[in-house]
Structure 1
Amino acid sequence: MLTLADREEISRGLAESLRYKETAVRIGRDASIVSREVNRHGGRDGYRAVAADGAAGTARARPKPLAVDRNPVLRSRVVGLLRAGWSPASIAGRLARDGPVRNAGKVSHEAIYQWVYAQPVATLRQELISLRTGRTGRRGPRPAPAPRIREPRYLDERPAEADDRAVPGHWEGDLVRHEALCVFERR
Structure 2
Amino acid sequence: MPVIAQRLGRHPSTIYREISRNWMHDEEPLYRGYFHVAADMQACARRQRLGKISRHPALAVHVIHCLKAAWSPEQIAGRLRVSGAPERISHETI
Kindly indicate which of the two structures has a greater share of residues assigned to strand: 2
- Pair member with larger Rg: 1
TM, length-normalised to structure 1: 0.27
TM, length-normalised to structure 2: 0.49
